[in-house]
Amino acid sequence: MSIILGPNRYGKAENRVVRIYRDSPRHEIHDISVSTALRGDFASAHLAGDQLNVLPTDTQKQTAYSFAKEKGLLSIENYGLDLAAHFVDTVEPVHTARVEIEEFAWQRVLIDGSEHDHTWVRRGQEVRTAAITVEGRGADRRTWVVGGLKDLVILKSTGSEFAGFMQDPYTLLQPTSDRVMATSLTAGWRFSTTDVDWEATYDGIKQVLVSQFATVHSLALQQTLYEMGRAVLEAFPVVAEVRLSAPNKHHFLYDLSPFGVANDNEVYHAADRPYGLIQATVLHDDAADAGPAWDSYTGLV
Amino acid sequence: MSIILGPNRYGKAENRVVRIYRDSPRHEIHDISVSTALRGDFASAHLAGDQLNVLPTDTQKQTAYSFAKEKGLLSIENYGLDLAAHFVDTVEPVHTARVEIEEFAWQRVLIDGSEHDHTWVRRGQEVRTAAITVEGRGADRRTWVVGGLKDLVILKSTGSEFAGFMQDPYTLLQPTSDRVMATSLTAGWRFSTTDVDWEATYDGIKQVLVSQFATVHSLALQQTLYEMGRAVLEAFPVVAEVRLSAPNKHHFLYDLSPFGVANDNEVYHAADRPYGLIQATVLHDDAADAGPAWDSYTGLV
Amino acid sequence: MSIILGPNRYGKAENRVVRIYRDSPRHEIHDISVSTALRGDFASAHLAGDQLNVLPTDTQKQTAYSFAKEKGLLSIENYGLDLAAHFVDTVEPVHTARVEIEEFAWQRVLIDGSEHDHTWVRRGQEVRTAAITVEGRGADRRTWVVGGLKDLVILKSTGSEFAGFMQDPYTLLQPTSDRVMATSLTAGWRFSTTDVDWEATYDGIKQVLVSQFATVHSLALQQTLYEMGRAVLEAFPVVAEVRLSAPNKHHFLYDLSPFGVANDNEVYHAADRPYGLIQATVLHDDAADAGPAWDSYTGLV
Amino acid sequence: MSIILGPNRYGKAENRVVRIYRDSPRHEIHDISVSTALRGDFASAHLAGDQLNVLPTDTQKQTAYSFAKEKGLLSIENYGLDLAAHFVDTVEPVHTARVEIEEFAWQRVLIDGSEHDHTWVRRGQEVRTAAITVEGRGADRRTWVVGGLKDLVILKSTGSEFAGFMQDPYTLLQPTSDRVMATSLTAGWRFSTTDVDWEATYDGIKQVLVSQFATVHSLALQQTLYEMGRAVLEAFPVVAEVRLSAPNKHHFLYDLSPFGVANDNEVYHAADRPYGLIQATVLHDDAADAGPAWDSYTGLV
């Protein structure tokens, strides 16, 4: 029995790159947090402290900033593809590079009804995400792109039930035919190709997710999530798989009866913790293997 | 020399009240965090543990939720005025009640271009705030209302200089004639009256703040803040005083020259800490005394 | 009626200075976040964008780091006094300088029962704080020092009651003779002198606060706070005033009776929000005026 | 090509259970955040909104609180094993239950040098973690236990080098033979058995991790992590695999030379972002398959 090194990776996390396009008086802004992680032949660094194969994380940082100019930073998926390919193609010991990006959206301020050329407020709604994995060179090259969003807080004040559920001796919950349903959605969608109009696709998928949440009469959050994923797959053939994670942000009807005040689904307490947490995957039955597409850098290896 | 009890207050903080208006199929939502704090004759509670004068913080909570129905929750300033007056008028030992509110805005989702009746996404931009202080009864009644916002993240990619500053032996900073200027604005405005169209005034003040940030050619954040405050006072006679707190969220131009890459104000690093922090008050020279208007419950007494 | 500039200040917030003493193999570490804020003759910066009187916030940062070596960083109160005095004494337009410091404590790791020379874990308990205000020069010089702590999470599982309180129509709370009492304490103590053994005093005051919380049989958090403040004043003649802010971190007894399980004050739910918030000042009746001692830079001006 | 439901799970996250043992005047406290997640035959809930197989997340919450009394809450691993087994054994559609726990440690306050019976301060250092997965019934039963910790902030002020690394055109970093090395460690250790003295093992593993960080002369964080994992495996035969995730919390030597001040590794800036992020697995080469042991509920399914 001997002790061995298992999976490992390293990189630079949360580089805060802001790119201004100022070729005309009407500037553009792209604001991201980008993390890069490399896997490959780094055993000697772990076993012997030998850094010969280790490209410093500082170098990865420099590259991330420089590529915002060299390659541009328009669609985060393209930027991530360029950056990941660079590490695999130019750093010999690297077998796989992963680039994870969060993009913070800005919207132009309106002055007398017109969009301003160079002033924005942070939109503050959901964060757009992308995770790009590039593995191997030449004929062995494989690429996975996962688009996504997080922190999309969405609520419907009716059109949601929860009833007919299983009961056991610990079950106190009463069924309800009309409740507030709210979540802070995290979603990821795995592309089956890189030949994608990234911007239109992002906007379109977000719209589908939101529309389904609004218009599906919900018998449970599970059902809503499935219908959201299904609709994305139907509308966007470039997507092979959708994963959804939805905390059930409980809004408890507040009991005002002790004060002689009626409360017909009007006053709620928005609770912090605990919360339900529902997660689902919806995919094409012939989707290619996900490989490392979903191996987030924020977890353990 | 003896030891005495000084200023003190107590209350319930961060009640998360959500109010749905559902009188028609087109629901309305108001989502707040409300804190209440009472000052008055509570010495015996401190000195002797006697709670006879102490209305429980739990009672304050119940009242906050019930008033969302009894009084309504349309404008947070009115809701806060009702709640603060209630405590002063009905709880004998209370001399002063303060109600601090944060409101989280929601916007209707669009389905096929139409606003949905009962589904929203959290807007996620700035948080609207109000702080209401009510003191005394009858002829001694005094009232202060401070409206405000926080977390309004705003950025301009040009139109900002910083030069001609004082220098000392620790000064390394180079002057610049074109920089990114960004902040996460906190602002408060003290009203000179309660006869106010709270909604229109909030929207109007926010618009003035944003417009000034965008259109004033900035020689320093100090100047921008002053021009923001001044414009609010000029446009809204109901406002006596404006206070502004603006972290200078530094965006450092990234040096790409080692890589032979030009960077003409295009690629920046958005730094977290430290940050500049600029604060200014702008007021009418005949503004009434601010009294306890600005004594935030989040600080020490 | 005209518009004027009111109180204002500016500075650099949250400089993360770490100072290692390595004069012997047994190193020492001091780890702080320091913010500096200047008040003075800065009207022209606000009114006209003229920076002639404005020492850049970057310069304040450089000074904060350099003073960690030049003046040393042993007691944060002394470091803050040096830094604040420097700005008032050497920057002509500055009338008042305020330095706010948070110190993060580290403790040596134990290896085979012995303290290691140069490895520590962050202690992670309370954060020590200091706020130093220096005003004027020469004969007009005035100085205020406030020591303190925050985030000291403390809990007692018995020895706390809450009963005999005022009741109104919104009162549902039941009295209790035995509850969990927990808080995350913020405390500040204003010194009447700068001739203080800062380290021993900090340790001593913290011990008094903790002891009183533990040993006073509590009839209400108000009473506990008062007894904490009183005991500090009695034990430390160098302290003129104590301010305490204590969220009542509610631990609700969990109702297990539906499952036939007894719960004799054994299983609780620790709630996040809302929370009670109790604040009190205890001081000597002949304490000198607090002046700007408590004007925190984290609030509005 | 058709659309199908893939992996899914649901549960209640972040139940904040506090358990007091008060059988003698010397109370004991255990303070946890526990999340439960179930996998199984829930397709009809997703596909048709049929909740017949769905035990509500509220029921999972009730069970988590009740088990703190019924089963006790001494070692989080045992509590988690009981809770997970309960769901698999009593809820027919459940195939797998996962329980994730964070434990917040408290230490008794000292009064006149003696530990107090019922008052504690939150220790505030690392958070202890456990993740228990129970799958199947009877002969098919499989169980995985992962112990761990997170947020252990540890720093050494010397004994760390970084040199001899790979260089490319984006490499600006200079080698160093003496730097501050600091991290906020997350670690998990997978047990090969449930016949473990959980408390002694936790304390022992933490001590090994800390000792190795302190005493291994570090040529890179990779090497330090490997030596930490290796030492745990050697000292604790009940552990099959260790995973480590270590942000390199950069401490940059501050350049004081412009001020004529020497800085011989004495004054540093502690940076927030970006940070290096190094992750490694160390395991026995004959370790059983990890199965779902590491599938964290905080990620996507």
Q: Pick from C271, C252, C242: which is nearest to C162 by CA?
A: C252
Do residues A190 and A289 make contact, with C-beta atoms less than 8 angstroms apart? Answer: no
Give dist(CA B148, CA C300) in Å, integer: 11
pLDDT confidence of residue D248: 98
- CB atoms near residue D152 (< 10 Å): 22
Q: Is the per-residue pLDDT at D19 higher than 70?
A: yes
Residue C27 tokens, joined: 């190193």
- Residue-wise pLDDT for C52-88, tens only, equals 999 999 999 999 999 999 999 999 999 999 999 999 9
pLDDT confidence of residue A300: 86
Helical (H) or strand (E) element with D225 = helix D221-235
Residue of B nearest to D257 (CA): B170
Do residues A97 and A87 make contact, with C-beta atoms less than 8 angstroms apart? Answer: yes
Interface with C, mutate which of B1, B2, B8, B65 (most C CBs under 10 A): B8
DSSP code at position B1 = -
The type of residue at A58 is D
Work out the minimum CA distance from D3 to partner chain B, whole angstroms.
24
| Mean pLDDT of the region D123-146 | 97
Alpha helices, H only, A93-138:
none
pLDDT confidence of residue C234: 98
3-state SS track over C227-274: HHHHHHHHHCCCEEEEEEEEEECCEEECCCHHHCCCCCCCEEEECCCC
Q: Is B165 on the interface with D (CB under 8 A)?
A: no
CB contact under 8 A, D119 and C256: no
Q: Where does the pLDDT of residue D7 fall: very low under 50, low under 70, confident under 90, or very high at 90 and above? A: very high
DSSP code at position B301 = -
- CB < 8 Å from D in window 256-275 of C: 256, 258-259, 261-272
CA angle D241, D246, D252 (to 5 degrees): 160
Q: Is C169 on the interface with A (CB under 8 A)?
A: yes
The type of residue at B179 is R
Give dist(CA D34, CA D99) in Å, integer: 7
Interface with B, mutate which of A22, A119, A227 (most B CBs under 10 A): A119
Work out the minimum CA distance from D71 to partner chain B, whole angstroms.
32
Q: Is C202 strand, coil or helix?
A: helix
Q: Pick from A84, A202, A198, A69: which is nearest to A141 by CA?
A: A84
Give dist(CA B147, CA B76) in Å, integer: 9
Work out the minimum CA distance from C170 to partner chain A, whole angstroms.
7
Instruction: State the chains in contact with C (3 or more Cβ–Cβ pairs under 8 Å).
Output: A, B, D
Contact list in B for residue D169 (CB cut-off 8 A) is 259
Instruction: State the chains in contact with B (3 or more Cβ–Cβ pairs under 8 Å).
Output: A, C, D
**Distance from the Cα of residue B134 to its chain's centroid:** 18
Q: Is A102 on the interface with D (CB under 8 A)?
A: no
Instruction: State the chains in contact with D (3 or more Cβ–Cβ pairs under 8 Å).
Output: A, B, C
Task: Find residue D247's DSSP bridge partners.
Answer: D277
- From the candidates D30, D86, D156, D250, which is the catalytic residue? D250
Residue B233 phi/psi, 5-degree rounding, is -60, -40
Do residues C38 and C97 make contact, with C-beta atoms less than 8 angstroms apart? Answer: yes
How high does pLDDT run on average in chain A?
97
Q: DSSP string of B20-67?
A: EE-SSSS-EEEEEEEEEEEEES-HHHHHH---TT---HHHHHHHHHHH
Do residues D267 and C68 make contact, with C-beta atoms less than 8 angstroms apart? Answer: yes
With b meaning 16 or more CB within 10 Å and e meaning fewer, what string describes C70-100?
A: eeebebbbbbbbbbbbbbbeebebbbbbbbb
Interface with C, mutate which of D69, D104, D218, D261 (most C CBs under 10 A): D69
Q: Pick from D102, D127, D81, D90: which is nearest to D16 by CA?
A: D102
> C136: left (phi > 0), else alpha (psi -120 to 50), else beta?
left
Report field, pTM of the whole predicted structure over 0.95:
yes
How far the first Cα of chain C sits from its last, in Å, is 23
Alpha helices, H only, A71-155:
76-90
- From the candidates B57, B59, B194, B281, which is the catalytic residue? B57
In this complex, the residue of A29, A156, A267 whose CB is nearest that of residue B69 is: A267
Place of tokens 């005095």: C85
Residue A210 tokens, joined: 């939101």
Q: Pick from C2, C107, B293: which is nearest to D123 by CA?
A: C107
Active-site residues of A: which are they?
12, 57, 250
Give dist(CA B184, CA B171) in Å, integer: 26
Contact list in B for residue A211 (CB cut-off 8 A) is 109, 111
Do residues B295 and C240 make contact, with C-beta atoms less than 8 angstroms apart? Answer: no
**ipTM topping 0.95:** yes
Do residues D96 and D135 make contact, with C-beta atoms less than 8 angstroms apart? Answer: yes
The type of residue at B301 is V
CB contact under 8 A, C42 and B275: no
Do residues D264 and C19 make contact, with C-beta atoms less than 8 angstroms apart? Answer: no
Please, how many CA atoms are within 13 Å of residue D264, restricted to the half-sphere of its CB? Answer: 3
pLDDT in single tens digits along all 301 residues of chain B: 699 999 999 999 999 999 999 999 999 999 999 999 999 999 999 999 999 999 999 999 999 999 999 999 999 999 999 999 999 999 999 999 999 999 999 999 999 999 999 999 999 999 999 999 999 999 999 999 999 999 999 999 999 999 999 999 999 999 999 999 999 999 999 999 999 999 999 999 999 999 999 999 999 999 999 999 999 999 999 999 999 999 999 999 999 999 999 999 999 999 999 999 999 999 999 999 999 999 999 888 8
Chains C and D form CB pairs within 8 A to the count of 201
pLDDT confidence of residue A1: 64
Do residues A10 and D276 make contact, with C-beta atoms less than 8 angstroms apart? Answer: yes
Residue C187 tokens, joined: 């405390």
- Strands D142-156 and C114-122 turn out to be antiparallel
Residue D259 phi/psi, 5-degree rounding, is -105, 10
